[in-house]
């Protein structure tokens, strides 16, 4: 459960969430107004590479075929991707 501040109601509310393309839209349950878009929670296993030698493959697929690549990726990726790779590798 998440709480978001509704500027109209001037209180923390539990938003009504709906899928909207790449984001999740949060609306206020009281005044029904749009509050903001939230980044989608990404499942590490389903994350698809958009660069490099395994473009279009998910991290889980890469884990099955080239574990060493994931280790390399973990060392070189940007923090957001690195976090996902760490989950696949079982790092804390």
Task: Give the interface with Zn ion as residue ranges (CB under 5 A).
Answer: 6, 8-9, 28, 30-31
Query: In whole angstroms, how close is the CB of 16 to Zn ion at the nearest point?
Result: 10
Nearest to Zn ion of 3, 31 (CB atom): 31
* Listed residue (60, 30, 55) closest to 42, CA to CA: 60
Give the Cα separation of 17 and 92 in Å (integer).
29
Nearest to Zn ion of 17, 30 (CB atom): 30
Edge to edge, the sheet with strand 34-39 lists: 16-20, 23-27, 34-39
Query: In whole angstroms, how close is the CB of 39 to Zn ion at the nearest point?
Result: 21
């Amino acid at each position: 459960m998440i709480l978001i501040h509704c500027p109209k109601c001037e209180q923390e509310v539990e938003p009504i969430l709906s899928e909207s393309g790449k984001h999740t839209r949060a609306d206020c349950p009281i005044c029904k107004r749009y509050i903001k878009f939230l980044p989608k929670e990404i499942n590490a296993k389903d994350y698809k590479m958009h660069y490099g030698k395994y473009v279009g493959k998910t991290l889980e697929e890469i884990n099955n075929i080239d574990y060493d690549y994931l280790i390399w990726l973990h060392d070189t990726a940007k923090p957001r991707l690195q976090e996902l790779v760490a989950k696949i590798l079982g790092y804390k």
